[in-house]
Amino acid sequence: MKKKVTLPTSSLIVDVAISVYGKPYQTAVTLLSLLKHSGQWIDKIYFIEERKQPKNTDFSFLYQLLGARIVRYVPRFWFWYNVFKYRFLLKWTTYRHSIRYQYAWEKSDKDYLLILHNDVLFNGDLVGAYLENLDENSLGIGKIGQCWNCPAYKENLCNGSKYWDYRPEKEALIEITKKHPLDRTPMTLNIIERQGAWPLPECRLNEYVALINLKKAKSVTIPHGKTIPFGVFDLDTGTRWFWEVSNMGYRVQNFDFESYAKHDWVRGINNGHEALLNNTIYQAGEAKALEKLNTDFGLNIKQNP
């Protein structure tokens, strides 16, 4: 029988790690809607600003709104979406803290860390739901798998709730992968050859809104353990960490958060990254978020030029 965590009432047992590149108004909607619904659980917000930012990005209004909750951190290095290569450099604290979410992962003294994208809209107490459903032996909880990219999902063989039991032979997974070619199929095939067929390359604890059980995960992750930091980018963010902890026998839990929160809510296509590469999409999203801040949250913010 799974043993659920024991929760104190209205205790600040969760810290937040949010990696921020641009989108100041969407970032504000993310954090204000989170605090509106789940603020009773949250203590510090580790606001990790990428060293490089889009032109005219200004978070100063948000610092004032968040007050003492916010812990600002600007990493020394900017890795963007470059595939991680040099594991030996993880011994260097400054380098390691430049990996997405890692500063908060190491500095937090809480039992739980909510890892968060800056383009999520909350409409319910997702943190409470995560805590209520989390098995104390799990490393984390959230939506498992980028199934929309996975050939095994397209073949109706696997999904986020079946990832632990679906363990195909390497040759079979290569055949399925070639049957459903995508832009990153060559990378996927390379990973299968390098790592094996399980967990599948697209399996991960999706980082856009996931709760990490730091009591368990901290001890198995560098610098305290052996597994690669959660925020390392391989095929995608978190895929290498997921592969390593799974092969050490650790599980995470699949939880569909769609009734509590919406990722990429301004467009509704679950792809916030595209806005960072297209200024038209970016500006439209920011305008929509600014309108929501002023109407739904009673603010009076003027458009930043």
282-291, pLDDT tens digit by residue? 999 999 999 9
Pairing of strands 261-263, 120-122: antiparallel
What pLDDT band is residue 6 in, cutting at 50, 70 and 90?
low
- What is the CB-side half-sphere exposure of residue 270 using CA atoms within 13 A? 11
Whether residue 7 is contained in a domain is answered as no
Do residues 191 and 208 both lie within one domain?
no
28-57, pLDDT tens digit by residue? 999 999 999 999 999 999 999 999 999 889
Cα 205–chain centre separation: 8
Whether residue 24 is contained in a domain is answered as yes
174-225, pLDDT tens digit by residue? 999 999 998 899 999 999 999 999 999 999 999 999 999 999 999 999 999 9
* 249 pLDDT above the threshold of 70: yes
Do residues 69 and 181 both lie within one domain?
no
Do residues 120 and 80 both lie within one domain?
yes
Do residues 185 and 224 both lie within one domain?
no
Do residues 164 and 275 both lie within one domain?
no
Q: What is the CATH number of the domain that holds 214?
A: 3.90.550.10
The tally of domains found in the chain comes to: 2
41's CB contacts (< 8 A; 6+ apart) are 10, 11, 12, 13, 14, 127, 128, 131
Boundaries of domain holding 268: 14-144+204-296
- Please give the single-letter amino acid code of residue 91: K
Whether residue 5 is contained in a domain is answered as no
CA distance 198 to 45: 34
Do residues 243 and 162 both lie within one domain?
no
